[in-house]
Structure 1
Amino acid sequence: MLRYPADLGPQAAPYADAVRPLLTCPGEWSRVGAAEAWWRITGDAAPAVAALLAELAPLAGHPTTPLVLRTVRILGAIGGPAAAALPALHEVTTSPRRYGDIRVDEELHRAARQALTAIAPARALDTP
């Protein structure tokens, strides 16, 4: 349901107060959806990035999930204000570790490279 206000962006401003508490709700998918909606509605990246960073934790030792891929893509869309995600994204692109089957791993690497380029273009040049 948060996809609709996210798609409306600033036109959904009257609903921003209803979205903000969802940034800390228990459901991971709801938090990620709320983060994207909050950022697109308000342009305020800080609370959105804070909510999204927790969803990168599975990259530390588990296979990639669709939620992690979505999170990486949203962080890339946010761009520069998502700089706190750079260490995790850089780790994905430089580590020999695999994050799932070949298709998922390649998709994650592609999304992470695109996010790095959007967040810090100069740092993305350091990535193979």
Structure 2
Amino acid sequence: MEKFFENLSEKFNDAAFEAQLDDFTCEFDAINKPAEIVVSVKSRKVIHSYGNISSYPYYNVDKINIYNEDGEDVSSKYPLFCQRVKDCVPSYKDVENDLTEANMSDTELYFGSEANYLHYKYGN
């Protein structure tokens, strides 16, 4: 079972890396049932003692769905399994560091590509 969660961690890390610091959804096989995890990027605001406010992004697991043969969500029957799945989601900072180490420019890091940046800056 440990190998399953190691592989799941790798799969989630790859999905997060491909999403380039954005929300992602990843499908996987859970207990011989199809499943998916939906992860979004949230921001935690911290007010420092000297009055400055910092914002720290993090991954938030919005939902984990495990489906039976009829396509119904049965994830509520597996709360411990779902918690272990949540624990497999990488930290936002680790993914950010991995992307930086991949020698991406800041523009590519935050916009995905130069073309996306130009579209953001100038529109169509």
- Shorter-chain TM band: under 0.3
Larger Rg: 2
Q: Which has the higher contact order (CA 8 A, sep 6+)?
A: 2
What TM-score do you get using the length of structure 1 for normalisation?
0.26
